[in-house]
Amino acid sequence: MTETDKSPGPLQIIGSVLAAMFGVQSRRNQERDFTSGRPGAYIVAGLIMTAVFVLVIVGVVNLVLSLVG
């Protein structure tokens, strides 16, 4: 069984979603994700990471506004 035949683990899914968010996904990992990954896992991870990103931005903005005002 080669590496592309194995289903990606949770850390690999998180890494793939982060790389995709920044636009730096490698061709090898992209092929692994499309051939052996479950779409639902990537969708859930993407939604969670997007929510975390938005919450971090809101927190930083609130912090800056509290320091300025």
Confirm whether 61 is domain-assigned: yes
CA 47/CA 7 separation, integer angstroms: 20
Domain span at residue 38 reads 10-68
User: pLDDT, tens digit, for every residue of 4-31?
Assistant: 567 899 999 999 999 999 999 899 989 9
Confirm whether 57 is domain-assigned: yes
Domain count, the chain: 1
Average pLDDT, integer, range 33-55:
94
Burial class (CB in 10 A: 0-12, 13-18, 19+), 54: exposed
CA 57/CA 34 separation, integer angstroms: 30
> How does residue 51 score in pLDDT terms, banded at 50, 70 and 90?
very high
Confirm whether 4 is domain-assigned: no
What is the value of pTM for the model shown? 0.79
